[in-house]
A = this chain, B = another copy of it.
Amino acid sequence: MAVYTEVSDEDLAAFAKNYDFGEILSAKGIAEGVENSNYLLQTAKGPYILTLYERRVEPKQLPFFLGLMEHLARSNVQCPVPLKGRDGEALRTLCGRPAAVISFLSGLWPRRVTAEHCAELGAALAGLHQAGMSYEGKRANSLSVDGWLFLLSRIAPQDAENIERGLNDLLTEELFAISKAWPKAGLPTGIIHADLFPDNVFFQHGKCSGLIDFYFACNDLLAYDIAICLNAWCFESDGSFNITKAKRLFAAYQAVRPLEPAEKAALPILARGAAMRFLLTRLFDWVNTPAGAMVKPKDPREYLLKLNFHRRVSDLGAYGLS
């Protein structure tokens, strides 16, 4: 939930003059995305999203993200596209921040994930990976193993202990183990979304109507993106793993892009890494969010449970993969 920057009506009216959508009839701050300020604009030509990029997005990486959205949309991935102004530019400045107007995508994200959603997700993710192959932009994943080590170094051991006794030791040992076992080569790489949680996937009439929020996208192992989705989509609220959801996800993904044997073999370690990534960022936000902040941090313990599930996995059958 965001809206960090209040845009004045004068600034907005001046900003609107860069575009062909006519007058802005309304601008509502929306509770979407925790990294940026988002406004839903009503214009004479329909709704648009106005995004002001805040702290966590590096301005010099914005052309990579905006270019990716354009590339994917041209390749028939359903996703929003940046709107170009009269000057041909999509990226400009508003209230001292980089800002862009993005097309509006119909659909609702699923509050209750079903196995059908997971099948739709699998197909959409594979389509994204295939379309990303021809994108020329490159961006390293700043939240892979090295990034996790850095994050852990910034979390005081006592803060981790306060969340759960023994957590600091567990994180240190587990991160060492993941780091050693992480696949160094031999797996297909390409553009990954890297944050494809249910609130970033819209559905209409039971079908995926589009993917949003590409601001963690980067070049990395394609199967790691699946591992993130396993964590984000296939666990129930009681912490149990739903193998039916995972099977549907894999089946739909592989109908588009079959997994290589090395990718399947790497899944348990990739899933552990994905759980570690979200456990660490949530833990970092949990201990660093001041009281009275505008964003409520997410409970890191959810991902501790998921991490522990993956640590116990001994064969791929646990994920519904033969």
Decide: A30 near B40, CB < 8 A? Known: A1-B1, A291-B292.
yes
Interface of A is mostly: loop
- Kindly state whether residue A280 has any CB partner on chain B within 8 Å: no
Return chain B residues, CB-CB under 8 Å to A10.
112
- Contact between B204 and A25 (Cβ–Cβ < 8 Å)? yes
- Contact between B31 and A30 (Cβ–Cβ < 8 Å)? yes
Task: Give bound CA distance, A82 to B190, whole Å.
Answer: 50
Q: Which of A181-189, A224-232, A268-276, A293-301 is found at the contact surface with chain B?
A: A293-301
- Contact between A292 and B289 (Cβ–Cβ < 8 Å)? yes
- Contact between A7 and B111 (Cβ–Cβ < 8 Å)? yes
Q: Which A274-322 residues sit within 8 Å CB-CB of chain B?
A: 289, 291-294, 296-297
- Kindly state whether residue A265 has any CB partner on chain B within 8 Å: no
Partner of A297, one of B24, B112, B292: B292
Contact mask A92-121 → B, CB, 8 Å, 1/0?
Answer: 000000000000111111111000000000
- Contact between B108 and A9 (Cβ–Cβ < 8 Å)? yes
Return chain B residues, CB-CB under 8 Å to A105.
26
Partner of A296, one of B12, B32, B108, B292: B292
Task: Give bound CA distance, A31 to B33, whole Å.
Answer: 12
Task: Give bound CA distance, A40 to B38, whole Å.
Answer: 13
Task: Give bound CA distance, A8 to B111, whole Å.
Answer: 5
- Contact between A42 and B106 (Cβ–Cβ < 8 Å)? yes
- Kindly state whether residue A122 has any CB partner on chain B within 8 Å: no
A residues neighboring B (CB under 8 Å): 1-3, 6-10, 12, 24-32, 40, 42, 47, 104-112, 202-204, 289, 291-294, 296-297
> What are 30 A-B interface contacts by the 8 Å CB criterion?
A1-B1, A1-B3, A1-B31, A2-B31, A8-B111, A9-B108, A9-B112, A9-B203, A10-B112, A12-B108, A25-B107, A26-B47, A26-B104, A26-B105, A26-B106, A26-B107, A28-B31, A29-B31, A29-B32, A30-B30, A30-B31, A30-B40, A31-B31, A42-B47, A42-B104, A289-B292, A291-B291, A291-B292, A292-B296, A294-B296
